[in-house]
Amino acid sequence: MEQLLQTIIEPLVDFPEDISISKEDHHSSVTYHISVNKEDAGKVIGKQGRLIKAIRTLTVAGQHESGKKVFVEID
């Protein structure tokens, strides 16, 4: 899943070398923390949050088999 997030986010940002994705696994949920350069945060969030919402939808669909709730946060 981290690789999928990397693949989605990399073409959107100006500083792909600053992308960092970490996974926090809990009993009933998984949280992915995405860290990007300050200048790129708005590009990942998108206009009115549409892009991050789409990214969250893709991660939920990809993680569906595990039965855990999936959260994506931008740090």
The tally of domains found in the chain comes to 1
For every one of its 75 residues, what pLDDT tens digit does the chain have, with 9 covering 90 and above?
Answer: 899 999 999 999 999 999 999 999 998 899 999 999 999 999 999 999 999 999 999 988 887 777 889 999 998
Q: What range does the domain containing 54 cover?
A: 2-74
pLDDT at 13: 96
Q: What is the phi-psi region of residue 4: left when phi exceeds 0, alpha when psi lies from -120 to 50, beta otherwise?
A: alpha
| CATH code at position 70 | 3.30.300.20
Rounded Cα gap, residues 57 and 44, in angstroms: 14
Rounded (10°) CA dihedral 14, 20, 25, 29: -10
